[in-house]
Chains A and B, each alone.
Chain A
Amino acid sequence: MASPSSPLRIRHARIHDGPLRGDLVSPAALIAPGHGALTSFLGVVRDHSRGRTVTALHYECYRPMAQKVLAALIDESAARFDRDLSASIVHGLGPMVPGDVALAIHVGSAHRAAALDACRHLIERIKQDLPMWKRERSADGTDAWLAGS
């Protein structure tokens, strides 16, 4: 049977000041009859890294490019996995503490394979290309910018 002529297709990408809370961490906005599968990835600030106890993180980005990259990655995922997929990506910025949600990716698609594959693709591509950097403060007093993590 053919797809409905006007599938829900939400494409949303942005940088948010501060950690993500409430609606930003929920995939509810993508729930729709045409989306048989919804997947989510949440990036949470971890309390340990490289053998140290992490007390705080600070995210910095090149904002206009970060917005553009996130939108382009959604388009790239749609072209690769499902041209009708819906996707929402929000990345937090600024100071955060362990347990804060720093990144939320939600993908809606008709079928699970595309939803799972696109979500995985998006987080891996964000790790490669999003102009975003984090500085990590540890309990032992060290404070360092991380690269390529």
Chain B
Amino acid sequence: MPAASVLYFAGLRQRLGVEAETVDLPSRATPAQILTTLAARHPDAGEALSHCRIAIDCDFVVGETVIREGAEIAVIQPVSGG
């Protein structure tokens, strides 16, 4: 299983108390599967994680994707820029 670096931001980072963590993930996974894996690590944030999108190496992913060793996975909660 590749180890990926998972990044959290803003309110989610504050809530989890963690900015980044290394997580073993399947070599192929959908965003929903990634979020389920993360929710298992942070059960109190399961609801918040369910509203997030996943970006891998700075691109949003939809559907199943390959996760390489060392990938940077960003958990993107609903945004509020502008």
Complex Cα gap A145–B11 (Å): 6
Nearest CB in chain B to that of A58: its residue: B10
Shortest Cβ distance from residue B36 to the other chain A in the assembled complex, whole angstroms: 21
Task: Tell whether, in the assembled complex, residue A134 and residue B76 are in contact, meaning their CB atoms are under 8 Å apart.
Answer: no
The number of residues on chain A lying at the interface, defined by a beta carbon within 8 Å of a beta carbon of chain B, is: 29
Complex Cα gap A126–B81 (Å): 7
Contact with A along B64-82 (1 / 0, CB 8 A): 0000000000101111111
Complex Cα gap A135–B9 (Å): 12
Contact with B along A45-73 (1 / 0, CB 8 A): 00000000000000111101110100000
Would A131 and B74 be within 8 Å (CB), given that A68-B58, A147-B80 are in contact? yes
Contact of B81 among A68, A103, A144 (CB under 8 A): A103
Considering only residues 1-56 of chain B, those with a C-beta below 8 Å from chain A are 7, 9-11, 14, 55
List 6 A-B pairs, Cβ < 8 Å. Answer: A62-B7, A62-B55, A65-B55, A127-B81, A131-B79, A148-B80
Which residues from chain B sit less than 8 Å from chain A, CB to CB? 7, 9-11, 14, 55, 58-60, 74, 76-82
5 new A-B contacts, CB < 8 A, other than A131-B79, A145-B10, are A66-B81, A102-B82, A129-B79, A131-B9, A144-B11
Nearest 7 pairs between A and B by C-beta?
A132-B81, A145-B11, A133-B10, A148-B78, A65-B58, A147-B78, A130-B81
